[in-house]
Amino acid sequence: MKGALIGCGFFAQNQLHAWSGIEGADIVALCDQDGTRLSDTAERFAIARTYRDAAAMLEAEQLDFVDIATTVPSHRPLVEMAAAAGLDVICQKPFAATMADARAMVEAVESAGRVLMVHENFRWQSAVRRAIETVREGAIGAPFFGRISFRSGYDVFSGQPYLAEGERFIIEDLGIHILDIARAFFGDVERLSAATKRVNPQIRGEDVATMLLQHSQGASSVVDCSYATRRQPETFPQTLLEIDGSEGTLRLDAGYRLTVQTKGGESIADVEPPLLPWAEKPWHNIQESVSIIQRHFVDCIAAGREPETSGRDNLKTLALVEAAYRSAATGQTVRPADL
């Protein structure tokens, strides 16, 4: 499979490292409007063909897929352009600025008969994945409660300064991942309520969010996110889990310690992800997840099956984000299905 990456920014470097290690796929062209960033990235990854215009690239290149790693406003035109060219698409999150844009992108790619996956990578972190599979295998019985927590004081703005500029921040940028993990454990959400707060006076959006989810299958979960939490040792960028089931409890604690307690006893496992040759701590769990999700994309195309984090599936995660902002603004419980 021959692919092109559109957008050579901060996180796209991880995606290119990951592609270089995935058998069955090669990135043969790059596109970015910033000429310096484009040339630096092309040199770093030895990719000869570069473009400043995506339309020109799609016309000139013989491609099988595109990896869209740009910011949200450009996603819809780029996805629709790729669909018109008959390409499979993997697109960064947040997938879309509005539900209407998201639905239009899904329909465009499905109408073209191609695959659309959203780079919703947190559920693909190997430690989180191990916990999801343990619960799905029935180790703790039927889950009825969960807490999915990401709390940190890490300075995410130094590497991504645009995060401080938007009216929306933590739910849209980080909470979307944590909400998606809740869906992976408990399924669709019937009702959601949320409260938000801005602690850091140097940013425009909210940096603390607490959400209560009532799931369609009867479980409830609490999703809490913070970039205003001072803690030592710093747990960034770990997601911490507590899942209660009818037959036991699962916890993913700081330091990648996975504990399962049932009537039969207790098991404890070290599930720290490997440090890939191109990765660095503490980012290594996220960097490894990029390899895992992109490999899933390639495998799904080869097998002709829908990715777990497909565009259509991601509509449900996006609806949770919109429901959370609406609930925080109105003080009311919101039904995501209404969105």
Give 91-137 as a DSSP string.
EESS--SSHHHHHHHHHHHHHTT--EEEE--GGGSHHHHHHHHHHHT
Q: Taking CA 184 as the corner, what is the angle to CA 179 and CA 187, rounded to the nearest 5 degrees?
A: 90
Q: What is the pLDDT of residue 162?
A: 87
| Residue 197 pLDDT level (bands cut at 50, 70, 90) | very high
- 256-276 pLDDT tens trace: 999 999 999 999 999 999 999
Cα torsion 55, 57, 58, 63 to 10°: value is -160
Check residue 159 and give its pLDDT.
82
Distance CA 305, CA 10 (A): 30
CA-angle at 13, arms to 12 and 15, nearest 5°:
60
Q: How far apart are CA 193 and CA 178, in angstroms?
A: 15
Q: How far apart are CA 199 and CA 164, in angstroms?
A: 12
Q: What mean pLDDT is predicted for residues 218-231?
A: 97
Indicate the pTM of the whole model: 0.95
**Domain span(s) for CATH 3.40.50.720 in the chain:** 2-114
| Helical spans, DSSP H, in the chain | 12-20, 35-45, 54-60, 75-84, 99-111, 126-136, 170, 176-186, 284-303, 311-330
Contacts of 126 (CB under 8 A, 6+ apart): 271, 273, 285, 288, 289, 292
- Look over the chain and give the mean of its residue pLDDT values, rounded to a whole number: 97
Query: What are the respective helix, strand and coil percentages of the chain, to the nearest 5?
Result: 40, 25, 35
Note whether 320 and 308 are within 8 A (CB).
no
Q: How far is CA 160 from CA 7, 40, 164, 173, 225, in A?
A: 14, 18, 8, 11, 18
pLDDT in tens, 271-299: 999 999 999 999 999 999 999 999 999 99
Tell me how crowded residue 229 is: count the other CB atoms within 10 A of its CB.
19
Where does the chain hold its CATH 3.30.360.10 domain(s)?
123-279+311-338
Predicted pLDDT of residue 99: 95
Residue 95 has pLDDT above 90, yes or no: yes
User: What pLDDT does residue 160 have?
Assistant: 84
Q: What is the mean pLDDT of residues 48-76?
A: 97
Model confidence at 237: pLDDT above 90: yes
pLDDT tens for residues 129-183?
Answer: 999 999 999 999 999 999 999 999 999 998 889 899 999 999 999 999 999 999 9
Residue 330: pLDDT over 90: yes
Average of pLDDT values for 43-49? 98
* CATH of the domain spanning 123-279+311-338, picked from 3.30.360.10, 3.40.1280.10, 3.30.1540.10, 3.40.140.10: 3.30.360.10
- The CATH classification of domain 2-114, taken from the options 3.20.20.140, 3.40.50.720, 3.10.50.40, 2.30.42.10: 3.40.50.720
pLDDT at 145: 98
pLDDT tier at 90, thresholds 50, 70, 90: very high
Q: Produce one character per residue of 115-134: b if its CB has 16 or more CB atoms within 10 Å, e if not.
A: bbbbbbbbbbbbbbbbbbeb
Q: What angle do CA 105, 99, 101 make, to 5 degrees?
A: 35
The SS3 of residue 70 is coil
Token digits for 275?
Answer: 């440090």
